[in-house]
Amino acid sequence: MNVKLPRRGLILCGVFLVLAIFGAKSAEREEITLVKPAKSLGTGLPFLPDLDLSGFSREEFIGLSSSVGTNRIRKAWTSPVVTLPTHPRTDVHGLTLEEVKGYMTQARQLFKEGKANPLSDVGLVSTQEDVIRRPMLNHIAAFSNAVARVFLLVQKTSTDKDWGFFGIVQDLTLDPPLDYFADMNGPAIKFEGHECYKCHSSGPLAIHPAREDLVMDARLAAAIGRHIAKGPLSNYYWPPSEKKRDYGKPMALEFCTECHEKDGVRQSLYRVHSHPIRIYVDYGYMPPKHRLTAEQVAQLKEWLEEKP
Ligand code: HEC
Ligand code: HEC
C-alpha cells in the first residue's frame, strides 16, 4: 500500500523522529550513574590501612596504561558492549570447550586490532590490601552475541613490563549460564578454578576504580559495571584437571544472604572470598544501598576470622 502523507505531515514526522532520537540518546546519557568514588569507611575489616596513592598521578596512570597501544584504548563509543558475529552453530545447548576458547581468542584479537571498547582503570580490589599493594592497571572490554557474554581483561601492575590477558566467557545456552575463566598467557588457553574463584565468586566483577581520576572513561566504567551487575546468576565451570576444594559452609549472615545465596541474585560467599568481601564492605559498596551497623560489621568480622 502506498501511503501518501501531505508534505507538512512528513516534515512534522521528521521533526518528531529527530526529537525522539535525541530524547532517547540524552536519556541514555543521563541514566548512567557514575561508580561511587572509593573511600574507606574505616570499618577495620581490611588487614592493612588504605594504600597511599597520592604519589601516583593521573598523568602517570595515562602514560602506563597507554603502553598497551594508544590505538587500542580510549575509543569513542555508543554501546559499551561490542556485538560479536552470530554463533555459527544453530540450536546450541552448551558451547564446546573449543567454542569457548574461540570466543576468548576472538576478544583478544578484536582488542589487538583496536576493535574492542575497553575502559582503563587502576582497580581497587587488586590494588589494596596484601594482594598486590601497588597500582594494578586494567583494560576491560565486554562483548556479546545471543549465545555468549565475553569479557577480556588486559592487566599489569605499575612495575611490570608486559601486559597479561585473561578471559571470562558466560555460556548463555545453558540454564543457568556457565562461566569459564581462563589465563590466556601461556602457549594455550588454560581454564582456571581456584585461582579465579577466590575473587570471582559469581562471574564477572563490577568495576571499581581505586580513585576517581584513575579511570578512562568514567561513564564507560559505569556502563560496563552495570552490564556486569545486571548479568545472569551463573555457575562456575571447574576444569576437570582441578578438584574443587572444600570451601566449608556458605556465609549465613542475613544482611548479605538476602542477595548472596543459592537462589539469590548472586552466588553464595565463602571464607575463601574474604579479600573482596573485606574491600567491598569497607569501601561501602556492599551492601549496595545502606551501610552496615557497627554490630553487623562485628558479626561479619567474627565470621571472617572463624576457623572453619
Ligand atoms: C584478587 C582478586 C582477583 C582474582 C584472584 C582474579 N580477579 Fe579477575 N577481576 C578482579 C576485579 C576486582 C576485577 C574488576 C577490576 C576493576 O574494577 O577494574 C576483575 C576483572 C576481571 C575481568 C574483566 C571482567 C570483570 O570481571 O570485570 C576478567 C576477564 C577477569 N577478571 C578474569 C580473571 C581470571 C581469568 C582470573 C583467574 C586467572 C581472575 N580474574 C582472578 C579481581 C580478581
Ligand atoms: C541487595 C542485594 C545485596 C546485598 C544485601 C549484598 N550484596 Fe553483595 N552484591 C550484590 C550485587 C548485585 C553484586 C554484583 C554487582 C556489584 O558488585 O555491584 C554484589 C557483589 C558482591 C561481591 C563481589 C562478588 C559478586 O557477587 O559479584 C561481594 C564480595 C559482595 N557483593 C559482598 C557482599 C557482602 C559481604 C554483603 C553483606 C555485608 C553483601 N554483598 C550484601 C547484591 C547484594
Averaged pLDDT for residues 293-300: 98
What SS3 class is residue 6? coil
pLDDT at site 27: 46
- Give kind and range of the element (H or E) at residue 153: strand 148-157
Select from 38, 159, 39, 184 the least CA-distant residue to 108: 184
Rounded distance from Cα 149 to ligand 2 centre (Å): 20
Residue 26 has pLDDT above 90, yes or no: no
129 pLDDT band, cuts 50/70/90, is confident
Averaged pLDDT for residues 262-274: 95
From the CA of 286, the nearest ligand is 2
Residue 266: all three cell numbers together: 548472586
Lowest mean pLDDT among 60-74, 128-142, 269-283: 128-142
Rounded distance from Cα 129 to ligand 2 centre (Å): 19
Q: Is 125 in the pocket of ligand 1 (CB under 6 A)?
A: yes
Residue 125 has pLDDT above 50, yes or no: yes
Quote the mean pLDDT of the chain.
Answer: 92
Residue 3: all three cell numbers together: 501511503
Residue 186 has pLDDT above 60, yes or no: yes
242 pLDDT band, cuts 50/70/90, is very high
Please report the atom of ligand 1 found closest to the CA of residue 276. 2
Is the pTM for the entire model greater than 0.85?
Answer: yes
- Give kind and range of the element (H or E) at residue 31: helix 7-31
Give the whole-number percent of the chain exceeding pLDDT 90. Answer: 85
Residue 139 has pLDDT above 70, yes or no: yes
| Cell 597500582 found at | 135
Distance CA 246, CA 38 (A): 33
If one compares 152 and 31, the residue with the highest pLDDT of the two is 152
Please, is 38 exposed, middle or buried when counting C-beta atoms within 10 Å of its C-beta (0-12, 13-18, 19+)?
A: buried
pLDDT at site 131: 82
pLDDT at site 232: 95
Q: Is 204 in the pocket of ligand 1 (CB under 6 A)?
A: yes
Residue 2 has pLDDT above 60, yes or no: no
CA-closest residue to ligand 2 atom 6: 287
Give the whole-number percent of the chain exceeding pLDDT 70. Answer: 90
Q: Is 153 in the pocket of ligand 1 (CB under 6 A)?
A: yes
Please report the atom of ligand 2 found closest to the CA of residue 258. 5
Pocket test for ligand 2, best of 286, 289, 290 (most atoms within 8 A of CB): 286
Asked whether 119 and 221 are in contact (CB, 8 A), the reply is yes
CA-closest residue to ligand 2 atom 3: 259
DSSP 64-117: HHHTT-TTTSS---SSSEEEPPPPSSSS-SS--HHHHHHHHHHHHHHHHTT-S-
- What residue ranges line ligand 2, CB within 6 angstroms? 201-202, 205-206, 229, 255-256, 258-260, 265-266, 269, 273, 276-277, 280-281, 286-288, 292, 300
